[in-house]
Structure formats: structure tokens, C-alpha cells
């Protein structure tokens, strides 16, 4: 199986969110900081489908996991 490298814009598009840089920055600013005791997939701002996607991709260490980790770090560091 071939691995794919995804970026944050691709992740936002996959989640059905606006994927322009300004929209991503606004999303992070609006939802940060995410408390360290809340897993990213359990954050209250995700829809059930988005949360399931994030949880499954991390659990499977899938192609999306690196960029999901990047988003996780950004949401915890910002604010």
C-alpha cells in the first residue's frame, strides 16, 4: 500500500471545513487552547462524523495521523 502525505489544508477539506489558510487560522484561534486532558477527537467542536474520522485515523496510525497530530499541537499551543 502506498503512503500519502497530507497537509493541514487537505485535512480541513477532508473534514468538510473551509481549507483556506485564513479559515484554518480562524478555526484554530476560535477553538484554542484545547485542554491537554481532552483527546483531540473528543473536543466538543467536532461533529460525530469528524470525531470518528480523527479517532480512527489516529488509532490506525493511518496516512492522516501526522497532520492530525500537527493540528492537535496547534490547537493546544494557541490561545
The structural domains of the chain, with segments of one domain joined by +, span 8-77
Please give the Cα distance from 79 to 76 (Å, whole number). Answer: 8
Query: For position 1, what pLDDT does the model report?
Result: 42
- Determine the Cα angle at 7 with ends 60 and 44, to 5°: 65
Please give the Cα distance from 57 to 45 (Å, whole number). Answer: 18
What is the model's pTM? 0.90
Look up the CATH number of domain 8-77: 1.10.10.1130
Q: pLDDT tens for residues 8-60?
A: 999 999 999 999 999 999 999 999 999 999 999 999 999 999 999 999 999 99
Amino acid at each position: 500500500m502506498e503512503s500519502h502525505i497530507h497537509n493541514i489544508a487537505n485535512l480541513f477539506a477532508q473534514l468538510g471545513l473551509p481549507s483556506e489558510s485564513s479559515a484554518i487560522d480562524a478555526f484554530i484561534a476560535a477553538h484554542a487552547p484545547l485542554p491537554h486532558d481532552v483527546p483531540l477527537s473528543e473536543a466538543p467542536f467536532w461533529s460525530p462524523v469528524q470525531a470518528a474520522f480523527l479517532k480512527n485515523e489516529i488509532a490506525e496510525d493511518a496516512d492522516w495521523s501526522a497532520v492530525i497530530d500537527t493540528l492537535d499541537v496547534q490547537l493546544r499551543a494557541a490561545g
